Chains A and B, each alone.
Chain A
């Protein structure tokens, strides 16, 4: 597709369940980023991939969060044993090379609600 695609658009889960969020970046984009956005706040960085390599996962809030991009295109963010504080919008972004002068292009996000 032309832009970054994320699915599902909305996800409701019960506390303790595992969830998986999918991101399909712009074709050919090397770099892929995941962000978490709490209500009324700016996005916060979670993790970064260059092709299939996860080069930075310093923003992942706990070991319940796991991300992968096995073939260097589609990425999945998995949250195990979800907690209420995981409720947020999860944004995926891609850029051509990931350099400091490259804009990142975002998907519409997945709005996760943990009951």
Chain B
């Protein structure tokens, strides 16, 4: 069964520092996507970055990058040069196997707090 583990309930970092948010997953699928979402206190879920299981290069999107280690089933999110606006809850997610469309299973999330 699909499972997502985020072991860091909270992370604290100062502005301009880099931070790594951990995510490990378990899936029986050979082909899948791995997604990261940001949820500020206002509640909206914002898509950040995606990694396909067959992508050989780690995904990058602006200040966000994925440290994807398929053999270890690990997909850590790296945020470079943290900003105050990065303070939020971060969720890692992987698709559930489904008939056609694929719903996501989410980890419990990591709360990131950025201070000045």
Binding site for B on A (CB under 8 A): 31, 33, 35, 41-45, 48, 50, 55-56, 59, 89, 91, 93, 95, 97-109, 111
Contact = CB atoms under 8 A, between A and B. Distances in A.
25 contacts: A31-B101, A33-B103, A35-B103, A35-B104, A42-B4, A42-B108, A42-B109, A43-B91, A45-B104, A48-B101, A56-B98, A89-B43, A91-B45, A93-B45, A98-B101, A99-B101, A99-B102, A100-B31, A100-B95, A101-B52, A103-B47, A106-B46, A106-B47, A108-B42, A109-B43
A41 B43 contact: no
A55 B101 contact: yes
Given A42-B106, A59-B103, A104 B32 contact: no
Chain B residues touching A, range? 20 to 34
The 5 closest A-B pairs by CB, nearest first: A98-B101, A42-B106, A106-B45, A45-B103, A31-B101
B100 A55 contact: yes
Interface string B87-116: 000010101101111111111110000000
